[in-house]
Amino acid sequence: MSQSSGYMASRLDWWSVGLYALFVLMGWMSIYSAVYNPEAPLGIFDAAFYTSNAGKQLIWIGASMVLIMFIFALDFRFFESFAPVIYGFFLLLLILVPFLGVTINGSHSWFKIGTATIQPAEFAKTATALLLAKYLNDPQVSLARFRDQWKAALIIGVPILLIIGSNETGSALVYVSFIILLYREGLPGEYPGLLLGGIFLFVSALILKPLTIFILLVVMAGILVLLMPIYLQRMYQTYVKMALGISVIMSLAILVEWVVNNVLKEHQRNRIKVLLDPDFDPRGLGYQVTQSKIAIGSGGFWGKGYLGGTQTKFDFVPEQSTDFIFCTIGEEFGFIGVAGIIILFMIFLWRLMYLADLQRSRFARAYGFGVVGILFFHFLVNIGMTIGLMPIMGIPLPFFSYGGSSLWSFTILLFIFLKLDSHRSDMLSR
């Protein structure tokens, strides 16, 4: 082992590496189980095995190891220095993919290279996190100032628009996770509050009619007035502010309804309908979620055992190897297995947050929280999809779901941070 390799090995956070390896292994085992045919089982030495999802995933896992070694071979300063170049390169790919890409599952966001397909939107998240971290590392930048806020918003917003142009709304929503990074680095708390309020209003507008929302707002305003001191009750400004607030909220609620009915595409509207009413078109649009919940529920407390699933084994659950891999785990390992995965993933995220807080460089710290935000969003939304709490958005479960683009992008995202962390004592404090 060379001196540099020994240095890396001694500074590398092996807890994070170990959890990564465990997740990838469990993910591959779940993919293998989903495609396993007991009447014609295939081994890893069978040529036909590598035409299945499990065989392809094994190849991509091997390629991920090469990517990790490549990342470790680079100088840790490379990622900050070349962040604009990396960002610009993936923006170019996002611009080109609508013209040169291929359509898969209704999304025109893939490049086909031989038999392999690559989705640049998956890698653009890492590029955005790098450039955002580099921008925030500038000593003159403060997220308390509006001029710096909108520049950070521009870095995030450009890839969002390009991804939406490729009909990848789910991948675009992932960029909401950067609010964690920005808030940690000094963004005023009003912005996360507005985001959460906007989400609550959006959901409310989907469930309730505008008239119902108006009545509730008037009742709440009335209660608030009664609780106010007498001098505030006598000031006309109080009622003007309340009227303006109600007007703004009602305008946004009506806008949400208009956007859903006139802007969203039919399949996007249908996903929302399925979320609000699980019995909506149970044999069509709601079939996937219904079967996923049946599969998870059938696992009971202990599960049916590895390779013992039936719902996932016989293709009752579409996309069971990709976006719905979690239901395979639920059926075969039951509540214990599902709870174990959730606990391990939360420990993994906590470990990464802990490492991010240890960084001496603002670049490494900001990037670390970007990694945490992206992984948390994927984890939360994917599980929410499989149990019917969130609409289907094509969001993979990190390190578990089948797919070269998702596995490689998450691997690169994580190991760039672990590379930076291994050199935190070599970085200048800020």
Domain-by-domain residue ranges, the chain? 3-21+64-197+274-426, 208-264
β-sheet with 102-104: strand ranges across? 102-104, 107-113, 116-118
The widest CA-to-CA distance across the chain, in whole angstroms, is 83
Q: Residues 168-194: what's their mean pLDDT? A: 87
Beta-bridge partners for 113: 116
CA of 11: how far to CAs of 20, 65, 211, 421, in Å? 17, 19, 60, 8
pTM: 0.86
Report the mean per-residue pLDDT for the chain.
84
Q: What span, in angstroms and rounded, lies between the C-alpha atoms of 80 and 362?
A: 11
User: Which range, 283-292, 322-331, 341-350, is most confident?
Assistant: 341-350
The CA-based angle 42-57-111, given to 5 degrees, is 130
Cβ-Cβ contacts under 8 Å for 115 (sequence gap 6 or more): none
Cα dist from 106 to 167, 168, 169, 285, 391, whole Å = 8, 9, 12, 14, 16
Residue 167 has a pLDDT of 73
Retrieve residue 344's tokens: 């391990």
pLDDT of residue 114: 72
- Flag the least confident range among 132-146, 298-312, 412-426: 298-312
Q: Is the C-alpha dihedral spanning 107, 109, 112, 118 positive or negative?
A: negative
Which range is least confidently modeled, 229-233, 309-313, 366-370? Answer: 309-313
pLDDT tens digits along 201-246 = 777 777 777 778 888 888 888 888 777 777 777 777 788 888 888 8
CA 105 → CA 132, 167, 313, 398, 411, distances in Å?
A: 31, 11, 22, 20, 24
* Residue owning tokens 């779901």: 401
CB-based contact 293:388 (threshold 8 Å): yes
> Cα(425)–Cα(7) distance, rounded to whole angstroms?
12
Amino acid letter for position 36: Y
Q: What is the pLDDT of residue 280?
A: 60
User: What percent of the chain has pLDDT above 70?
Assistant: 86
Residue 1: the pLDDT is: 47
